[in-house]
Amino acid sequence: MKAQSRTLLEVEGLNIRYPTPRGAVEAVRNVSFTLGREKLGIVGESGSGKTQTGRAILRLTETHARVRADKLHFDGIDLLAANEQTMRRIRGRRISMIMQDPKYSLNPVMSVGEQIAEVFRVHSGAPARKARRRAVEMLDSVRIRDPERVYRAYPHEVSGGMGQRIMIAMMMTPNPDIIIADEPTSALDVTVQLQVLALLDDMVSDNGMGLIFISHDLELVASFCDRVVVMYAGQVVEVVDAGALHQARHPYTRGLLNCLPRIGTHGRDLPVLQRRSSWAAGISPRNRHA
Amino acid sequence: MTFPALRGAREYLLSGAPRSALQARCQRVWFSWRTFSANPVAVAGLLIVLALVSAAVIAPWITGSDGLDPELSRRLLPPSAAHWFGTDELGRDIYDRIIWGARITLYIVTLVGAIVVPIGLLIGTIAGYVGGIVDTVLMRITDIFLAFPRLILALALVAALGPGIENAVIAIALTTWSPYARIARAEALTLRGSEFILAARAQGASTGGILLRHITPLCVSSVIVRLTLDMAGIILTAAGLGFLGLGAQPPTPEWGAMISTGRQFLLDQWWVPTIPGIAIFIVSLGFNLLGDGLRDVMDPRHNA
Amino acid sequence: MPERAEAESGSGPTPLSALSTVAGSLLTIASTFIGLTAVTFVIGRVMPVDPVLAIVGDRASQDVYDRVFLELGLDRPLYEQYWRYLMQLFRGDFGTSIMTAQPVLQDLIRFFPATLELATLATLVGVLAGVPLGVVAAVRQGRLTDHLVRIFGLFGYSVPIFWLGMVALLIFYGALGWLPGPGRIEVYYDGIVAPVTGFIVIDAAYAGEWEIVRNALSHLVLPVAILSTYALAYIARMTRSFMLDQLRQEYMLTARVKGLSERAVIWRHAFRNVLVQLITIIGLTYASLLEGSVLTETIFAWPGIGQYITHSLFNSDMNAVLGGTIVVGISFVGINMLSDLLYKMVDPRARA
Amino acid sequence: MLRINKTQMGLAAALAATLAWNAPAVAATPKDTLIMARDIGDIITFDPAEAFEFTTGELLTNIYDRLLMHEPDNLQELVGGVAESWEISDGGKTITFKIRPGLTFHSGNPVTADDVTFSLRRVVKLNKTPVFILSQFGWNADNVDDLVQTVDGRTRITVTEDLSPGLVLNALSATVGSVLDEKLVREHEQDGDLGYEWLKSNSAASGPYRLITWKANELVTLEAFPDYRHGAPATRRVIMRHVAESSAQRLLLEKGDIDIARGLTPDQVQGLANNPDVAVDDNPKSDIVYMAVNAEHPVLGKPEVWQALRHLADYSGMTSSFLNGQFKVHQSFWPSGLWAALDDNPFALDVDKARRILADAGVGGLEITLDTLNLEPYPRIAQSLQATMRQAGIEMDILTADGKTLWPKYRARRHDIILARWAPDYLDPHSNADSFAHNPDNRAEAKLTGKLAWRNAWADDDVNRQTEMARNALDLDERKDMYLQLQGMIQDRSPFVVMFQRNEQTARRSNVRGFVSGPNFDLVFYRNTTK
Amino acid sequence: MLDVRQLHVYFGRGAARNHAVRGISFSVSRGGCFGLVGESGSGKSTVLKAICGLAPNWHGSLHLAQTALTQKRGLDFCRRVQMVFQDPYGSLHPRHTIDQILAEPLRIHRFDDIKTRIIRALEEVGLDLTFRFRYPHQLSGGQRQRVAVARALVTNPEVVLLDEPTSALDVSVQAEVLNLLARLRRERNLTYVLVSHDLSVVAHMCDRLAVMQHGRIVESLDIDKLHNQRPSHPYTRQLLLASRGYDRKTIDAFKDFD
């Protein structure tokens, strides 16, 4: 286990722009945070730039996006300056990512096992049989009952919860340092969602990884993560410790927390978040609904 | 002096809050045009098609004759200043015939579109939306037409209806509708379960109303795109029928027939079959380019 | 809401569903067959060509005409003629062609292989060249390669095939003399090799006549090149379009996240999905070429099925037309079924 | 970019490989084989009792010897083929044929009078299209066994109608006069069909060539018969190759892949002028091109209109341009160069005269359709006619069709004007007179569909009488005068406008010699051809 | 107002037949709001489809204001019972302007004064008139859902079926839409049937709710009972626990109710 530095990832002044025929769209503006071996939540409404931030770390934003940063360092490597080959070695092997819906993020015509074995083979050069064994082990480790059978199954044959476990197994296989989980459970039912999160939690803490958990669900992030980055319109509005979320000071964070319906709110109107233009100062108006 | 007017037009087209249905529609068209015109290849295609249309419209003013009457004293003259594309085996000016032939090509294109699109949409949307036994029966019929040798069917129909450009086009149309029905059906199938269709049903809209007002407009674009992409093939098939002597009758300046009768001159008077060949090529290319461009505009799945 | 299928619940086809699939395909073949023959029969009746005159010729006297009319059974109602034909077919008898004086079956055995070899080679060339071009164009979307592939594709799509054929013949045979002229083989080689498969190349190779093999192959080059222009254009274009769709899918991101090389991402992940859709397209292309390209066959004096059917049609030789249509229709259905089968092999989603 | 180049290079390499590989194969055709290109799509049978197509007419001439025939060294004279001599008796009603001794069929069987008798009876019994040539003698299936008999090793035929013996002999020189090998035919007989099924694609003959293969729309192969009565043919093998495209024929000829091209257009022939390897022969043929008007049409039925139409064809304009060299102006129904032909061409394009005639007849604003074949040069002639007719105020639409579509319409009298061709069935003026002039029953129910006069709903008592007189006349000179007169009558008063006579331009490699193409479609002889 | 007894709903035919709802019963009084909670595939949306006639293959009894409903629903029924769908992106026709979308039900039910009604409907859901001629793609998710609500209410229905009306929206927008729905119900005395996978939303909106699983109702309870943490069925209790967020310790106690 490597633990030379507490900080795995440093992001400073990250900007992502998309040139469009009607001027550039600023998807992410001046975002900074650091990640150690911890669970860091990034929270925001749709279009707040949280997904873009996650992808920029792996340098997988769309080709026409312009990514700039004062600093984007992982384990001493400048991710913006690294060549494609270095990036390929980092991707999967050291930084991995779990996407929202296994229905779309698994290759529909490859068997589940093949897809898991593939990532292992790419990074270890192991022979097929060994990769297969490893894949079955991984399926077992995400508490799939009949791993041999699921190994042969195809993505459309598995439920959403199982699909996401497979995804986790796949991304955990090379034992990376950082996992970026982009809304990994929002396509799942509540109880399954929590079970999958528990699994992710266990794996991350057992292996001492860093986790970036991207979600729109403030309550969930608060109860799951160690620290929370709150994003609004491409910017970080606040970074708070998860335990102290309910003492958050920014009106946006507070507004988000208050407007949630609860079992006790029956019969009353919910407080509505009043947006202020100052939160997104300097951001082109078009971006607000993007 | 036109600046305020221009600015007004700009505002009218770009305002986020259109004030009338007309303005909303104009905006949509304008937006599509913006996307389309950003693609130079597609614009080239449009220009070719427009050139075809304008040649057809202004033919009487840009030609010296109607290209029909033989003038046996000036047979097979090579291209020159007097006859830009030379003359054919009966001494007619090939340039004049090409220009007048644009009308026929345009006629073919329009007529096929006017037959194929409604048939394809009707059968496809009904099959896809209604489903069940109706779908099975309609698709079986479609499959039979799909499995039938296309040119053979067209030949048989032309032979039955009698040679001539209308009949050739009708024959082509009756043999080409089946893929359109399939496309429309596929679209209707995906739309059938979509929530806005459910919403319309929940409001009490009738099946006919849903087909006409909700499903058909959404299938039209993919059918139209496919049509423009197929248009080249249709022109070529019409030309092929002309080549086999079943299309336009002499002395009609149909391009395919011109190649057909001119093909024996390929060795010594190359221009006689080659000029109409190039004309067909350019127009087909135009429709293909246009179709590619339209696909990008109309079919959101193909937007990069 | 339909329930999600669970891996545990088992997803293999049950014996019952397999049976119903077989029954379904039989039904498809049967209905296509009935539909094809019925349509052809009606066509034969509405055609202004007189089958009797096709036999007796222009100058026959009326009593000869009347006798042949009765001999052909044309006085019977159409449905009865159709029924008789079907019954005859069930005995394996396609009837005799008027135009060739041979049993239609024998004609088909002669003409269909000629088309089959053209279509197969043209499709093969189309696939081998078109698929890589399409993939490369999609991957380099918007760049020079893409534009070149598209323009080349559009060329193949837009150029009148009969004109191209004539020009090609003129250049490669007439002017340059690199390739032989029209026909399947030089006529003086005719009759040397006994037809076994109907494919001259194979038959000659089997007989050890290498001179003839060489000659037949060289005759194939031009028509195959002309036909494959279209196949290639179509396949390249569809491949590009399918590939563009796949490149936008989220599993592509997954593949990249896994640290795969770009080549693996494209060929192992995206292309396997493209293949699924391509099978149908290739099947359709092949089937449409199997119809026999009447125009190409005319230009290259190729005795193929397209020419056979057309010629018979113009002479109202309905036994021949029906036989040809059945062969083309059945091969169309057959190819469709084959591509469905391949589809199921390649796409696990279609297996359920 | 790179990939395209690779593909192109690959293609080029493949081409080059084929080229190098194929080099020895692009050589001249084999020395002992004559290869001819022609459209052979019309062949449907090789049975002389049924075949009536242009291509089979020619091929059967080279396969079967007929009872009487023309020989390539003297095309004008009718001589004995299988018959050594014949005697006419009983006032021209009975003819007895003595058979040449020592002749054999391809099978090795001797040629006897029984074979001749069998062959003639067979034609009548099978009752196929060309039977009318023999049935005009008064023969039918019931009486033919009595009227055609072998007597003392000779074949004796009896004609019951009043016919000129010259006509009878000329008729027997048609394909139906081919002599079949009875023994061989009987071997292949099925269910008493007189060998009908087998003979469709086989031969049982004694002529210079034997039919080896017929592949419909591909080729016909003939092989020399070494024991032919004039000696073995000069070329061992003749292949007639199906090439429908005239430009392809020209390419093949210039490249030396065929020896003779049989379907070049005038312009293509002109294009060959500078090629020293190719020579072109002129062979006047007896095909004529005519325009005919349906006399049932309310306006077109007027004889004045027919008169006007005769002045509305640009005869010389066409023969000096797109028909140049392959058609000459000829305006009577019996072709020039044959016995009793009228070489008088009284009509020329005269729009004013035509307009005057039409005006006098009160005809104006005429809108009609012209049906014609979709083969060159008919659509071109039609377009020229269309232009000249428009000058006279007649709007004419052109409808081209395949013969198979056109003939039913013609035979049902559903045309306005038709532009078509005609070739005699045998070289006797009656062959054409019977069709153009003779119509004894003009009622629709009569269905004399074989006669052009009936098809155009035209009957004229004087003309009918003249035709019959000419047919039956015994004296040759008298007969000739009658035909000359008849041709004049048709020029004057019929709805037929005969315009052109064909001249076949046969293009051959210059080393090919001895190919004979006579005045009728079936007078083409291969056996002296060398190269 | 709405009475459902022993409702069974099926999808598909033959071997592929799917028994989606297996005999459920509930009733809602006029002006009431009834909630159905369950996970995906539990059959809760199917119940709504059967009520409004979009799932024709059902048996059992359905009564709307004492009138029994048959397989085929008349125009009048469609006017009285309306539905709001889950996905604001999918439930509006992409090529129709808001004006056309709102005009369609009015046209079908032959209302006059269409323009005034559209303007009033837009005002009621809090959209100003600049939205009238826009296309759905020019609207945000919340705005679209307001349009969907306006469309459902424009014909003055009595019963509104809400199928996960806020699950595709951001929480801040969800609050606005929920407030809007609550206000409209108060003002017009509407009867709601609300389907959601989110227990908090149902608890916030409804007076009474039922928990569904595998096509059956496992428990039916008043909101007070839920409020007092006294659901009797273990599945309901688990849902209640899960709605409180992530707690590593409780999760191991979760049962898979497959």
CB atoms within 10 A of CB D226: 11
Q: How many Cβ pairs within 8 Å bridge chains B and C?
A: 134
Q: What is the pLDDT of residue D11?
A: 46
Kindly report the length of chain B.
304
| Gap from A272 CA to chain C (nearest CA, Å) | 33
Helix-strand-coil percent breakdown of chain A, rounded to 5? 40, 25, 35
State how beta strands A210-215 and A227-232 pair.
unpaired
Rg (CA), chain B: 23
Kindly report the length of chain A.
290
CB atoms within 10 A of CB D345: 17
Contacts of A111 in chain C (CB under 8 A): 348
Q: How far apart are CA C250 and CA C271, in angstroms?
A: 14
**CB-based contacts of A67, cutoff 8 Å, min separation 6:** A14, A15, A16, A56, A59, A61, A80
Helix (H/G/I), strand (E/B), else coil: B123: helix
Structural domain boundaries, residue D142? 33-224+510-525
Confidence of residue C217 (pLDDT cuts 50, 70, 90): very high
Partner residues linked to E193 by β-bridges: E34, E161
Residue A137 touches partner E, C-beta closer than 8 Å: no
Q: How far apart are CA C8 and CA B293, in angstroms?
A: 47
Contacts of E258 in chain C (CB under 8 A): 6
CATH number at residue E146: 3.40.50.300
Q: How many Cβ pairs within 8 Å bridge chains A and E?
A: 100
Q: How far lies D419's CA from each of D249, D290, D374, in Å? A: 26, 6, 11
Q: What is the pLDDT of residue C156?
A: 82
Count the domains in chain E: 1
**CB-based contacts of B279, cutoff 8 Å, min separation 6:** B98, B101, B255
- Given an 8 Å threshold on Cβ–Cβ distance, is C190 in contact with D3? no
Average pLDDT over residues E30-42: 89
Helix (H/G/I), strand (E/B), else coil: D72: coil
Secondary structure element (H or E) that encloses residue D154, with its range: strand D154-158
Contacts of B214 in chain E (CB under 8 A): 93
Contacts of D245 in chain B (CB under 8 A): 263-264
Q: Is a pLDDT exceeding 70 seen at residue A151? A: yes
Q: What is the pLDDT of residue B260?
A: 81
Q: What is the pLDDT of residue B5?
A: 64
Residue E203 touches partner B, C-beta closer than 8 Å: no
Nearest to D22 among C102, C188, C214 (CB): C214
Contacts of B280 in chain C (CB under 8 A): 158, 160, 163
- Given an 8 Å threshold on Cβ–Cβ distance, is E82 in contact with B202? yes
Count the domains in chain C: 2
Handedness of CA B177, B178, B182, B183 (dihedral sign): negative
Partner residues linked to E24 by β-bridges: E7
Whether the Cβ atoms of residue B257 and residue B271 lie closer than 8 Å to each other: no
- Given an 8 Å threshold on Cβ–Cβ distance, is B147 in contact with C32? yes
Residue C43 touches partner D, C-beta closer than 8 Å: no
Q: How far apart are CA A240 and CA A228, in angstroms?
A: 5
- Given an 8 Å threshold on Cβ–Cβ distance, is C17 in contact with E45? no
Q: What is the pLDDT of residue E209?
A: 92
Q: Is a pLDDT exceeding 70 seen at residue E49? A: yes
* D466-493 tens-digit pLDDT: 999 999 998 889 999 999 999 999 999 9
For an interface test with A, which of E246, E247, E249 has the most A Cβ atoms less than 10 Å from its Cβ? E246
- Is D411 in the same domain as D341? yes
Q: How far lies E248's CA from each of A202, C105, E39, E195, in Å? A: 9, 76, 21, 28
Nearest to B264 among D247, D383, D405 (CB): D247
Give domain status of residue C136, yes or no.
Answer: yes
- Given an 8 Å threshold on Cβ–Cβ distance, is D267 in contact with B269? yes
Kindly report the length of chain E.
258
| Gap from D401 CA to chain B (nearest CA, Å) | 8
Give domain status of residue C5, yes or no.
Answer: no
pTM for this entry: 0.84
Interface of E with B in 123-152 (CB under 8 A): 130-131, 133-135, 138, 148, 151
Please, do chains E and C touch (3+ CB pairs < 8 Å)?
yes
Q: What is the pLDDT of residue D292?
A: 96
Where along chain A do its domains lie?
Answer: 1-83+225-290
Average pLDDT over residues D15-29: 47
- Given an 8 Å threshold on Cβ–Cβ distance, is B72 in contact with D322? yes
| Gap from A181 CA to chain E (nearest CA, Å) | 16
- Is D212 in the same domain as D333? no
CA angle B243, B247, B249 (to 5 degrees): 105
- Is D151 in the same domain as D217? yes
* B40-70 tens-digit pLDDT: 888 999 999 999 999 999 999 998 888 888 8
Give domain status of residue D387, yes or no.
Answer: yes
CB atoms within 10 A of CB B301: 10
Q: How far apart are CA C48 and CA B246, in angstroms?
A: 13
Closest residue on chain B to D379 (Cα) = B250
- The topology under which CATH files domain A1-83+225-290 is Rossmann fold (3.40.50)
Q: How far lies C272's CA from each of C62, C265, C275, C277, C348, in Å? A: 66, 10, 5, 9, 11
Confidence of residue D513 (pLDDT cuts 50, 70, 90): very high
The DSSP string of D134-148 is: HHTTT--TTTHHHHE
Nearest to E239 among A190, A259, A269 (CB): A190
Q: Scanning the structure block, which residue is given the tokens 């039979």?
A: B144
- Given an 8 Å threshold on Cβ–Cβ distance, is B204 in contact with E78? yes
Residue D451's φ and ψ, nearest 5 degrees, are -100, 130
Q: How far apart are CA D222 and CA D219, in angstroms?
A: 10
Kindly state the percentage of chain A with pLDDT values over 90: 31
Secondary structure element (H or E) that encloses residue D278, with its range: strand D278-293
| Gap from A279 CA to chain C (nearest CA, Å) | 32
DSSP state of D335: P
* B204-231 tens-digit pLDDT: 888 898 998 889 988 888 888 888 878 7
Please, do chains E and D touch (3+ CB pairs < 8 Å)?
no
* A15-53 tens-digit pLDDT: 999 887 667 888 898 899 999 889 999 998 888 888 899
Give domain status of residue C270, yes or no.
Answer: yes
Please, do chains C and B touch (3+ CB pairs < 8 Å)?
yes
Q: How far apart are CA E100 and CA E102, in angstroms?
A: 5
- Is D421 in the same domain as D441? yes
State how beta strands E81-84 and D260-261 pair.
unpaired
- Is D311 in the same domain as D377? yes
For an interface test with C, which of D127, D134, D218, D259 has the most C Cβ atoms less than 10 Å from its Cβ? D218
* Counts of helices then strands in chain C (DSSP H, E): 15, 0
**CB-based contacts of E76, cutoff 8 Å, min separation 6:** none
Domain boundary residue, one of C37, C67, C93: C93
Q: Is a pLDDT exceeding 80 seen at residue A288? A: no
E strands of A49-193, at which residues? 66-68, 71-74, 77-78, 95-98, 178-182
- Given an 8 Å threshold on Cβ–Cβ distance, is E171 in contact with A216? yes
Chain A residues with a Cβ under 8 Å from any Cβ in chain C: 55, 58, 60, 88-93, 96-97, 99, 101, 104-111, 118-119, 122-123, 145-146, 149-150, 153-154, 156-160, 162, 167, 170-171
Interface of B with E in 14-33 (CB under 8 A): 16-21, 23-24, 28
Structural domain boundaries, residue E38? 2-252
Q: ipTM of this model?
A: 0.82
| Gap from C263 CA to chain A (nearest CA, Å) | 12
Kindly state the percentage of chain A with pLDDT values over 70: 93
Q: Is a pLDDT exceeding 70 seen at residue A283? A: no
- Given an 8 Å threshold on Cβ–Cβ distance, is C3 in contact with E18? yes
- Given an 8 Å threshold on Cβ–Cβ distance, is C218 in contact with D25? yes
Secondary structure element (H or E) that encloses residue D260, with its range: strand D260-261
Q: What is the pLDDT of residue C11?
A: 34
Confidence of residue B234 (pLDDT cuts 50, 70, 90): confident
Nearest to D239 among C61, C174, C188 (CB): C188
- Is C146 in the same domain as C259? yes
Residue B295 exposure: Cα atoms within 13 Å on the Cβ side: 20
Residue C83 touches partner B, C-beta closer than 8 Å: no
Start-end of H helices in chain B? 3-14, 21-37, 40-62, 94-130, 132-147, 150-161, 165-192, 195-202, 207-209, 216-243, 255-262, 271-298
- Is D150 in the same domain as D297? no
Q: What is the pLDDT of residue A281?
A: 57
Contacts of C179 in chain D (CB under 8 A): 15, 18-19, 22
Give domain status of residue D150, yes or no.
Answer: yes
State the virtual CA torsion across C119, C125, C129, C135 in degrees, nearest 10.
Answer: 40
Q: How far apart are CA B186 and CA B219, in angstroms?
A: 9
Question: If you average pLDDT over every residue of chain A, what do you get?
Answer: 85
- Is C120 in the same domain as C75? no
- Is D144 in the same domain as D110? yes
Give domain status of residue C99, yes or no.
Answer: no
Confidence of residue D504 (pLDDT cuts 50, 70, 90): very high
Q: How far apart are CA E198 and CA D4, in angstroms?
A: 57
Chain C residues with a Cβ under 8 Å from any Cβ in chain E: 1-4, 6, 14, 16-17
Residue C55 touches partner B, C-beta closer than 8 Å: no
Partner residues linked to D157 by β-bridges: D95, D148
**CB-based contacts of D529, cutoff 8 Å, min separation 6:** D34, D233, D234, D235, D238, D512, D513, D514, D515
Please, do chains C and D touch (3+ CB pairs < 8 Å)?
yes
- Is D469 in the same domain as D520? no
E strands of chain A, at which residues? 9-20, 23-35, 39-43, 66-68, 71-74, 77-78, 95-98, 178-182, 210-215, 227-232, 235-241
3-state secondary structure B270-300: CHHHHHHHHHHHHHHHHHHHHHHHHHHHHCH
Q: Scanning the structure block, which residue is given the tokens 């105020």?
A: D393
Handedness of CA B156, B160, B165, B171 (dihedral sign): negative
CATH number at residue C334: 1.10.3720.10
Secondary structure element (H or E) that encloses residue D292, with its range: strand D278-293
Q: What is the pLDDT of residue C74?
A: 85
Q: C-alpha C83: how far from its chain's center?
A: 28
Q: How far apart are CA A210 and CA A3, in angstroms?
A: 11
State how beta strands A9-20 and D83-89 pair.
unpaired
Domain boundary residue, one of C93, C124, C146: C93
Structural domain boundaries, residue C337? 106-351
Residue C263 touches partner A, C-beta closer than 8 Å: no
CATH number at residue D215: 3.40.190.10
Give domain status of residue D364, yes or no.
Answer: yes
* D391-436 tens-digit pLDDT: 999 999 998 888 878 888 899 999 999 999 999 999 999 999 999 9
Start-end of H helices in chain E? 44-52, 75-80, 98-108, 114-124, 141-153, 171-188, 199-205, 223-227, 234-242, 248-251
The DSSP string of C164-208 is: HHHHHIIIIIIIS--S--SSSS-GGGTTTSPPSSS-HHHHHHHHT
Closest residue on chain D to B250 (Cα) = D398
Of these ranges, B246-250, C4-8, C99-103, D10-14, the one predicted with the greatest mean pLDDT is C99-103
- Given an 8 Å threshold on Cβ–Cβ distance, is A194 in contact with E254? yes
Q: Is a pLDDT exceeding 90 seen at residue D360? A: yes
- D20 exposure class (CB count in 10 Å sphere: 0-12, 13-18, 19+): exposed
Q: Is a pLDDT exceeding 90 seen at residue B29? A: no
Find chains touching chain D: ≥3 CB pairs under 8 Å.
B, C
CATH number at residue D299: 3.10.105.10
E56-61, Cβ contacts within 8 angstroms, sequence gap of 24 or more: E57/E9, E57/E10, E57/E11, E58/E7, E58/E8, E58/E9, E58/E10, E58/E21, E59/E7, E59/E8, E60/E4, E60/E5, E60/E6, E60/E7, E60/E8, E60/E23, E61/E3, E61/E4, E61/E5, E61/E6, E61/E7
- Given an 8 Å threshold on Cβ–Cβ distance, is C154 in contact with B288? yes
Contacts of B161 in chain D (CB under 8 A): none
Contacts of C314 in chain D (CB under 8 A): 402, 404-405
- Given an 8 Å threshold on Cβ–Cβ distance, is D247 in contact with B263? yes
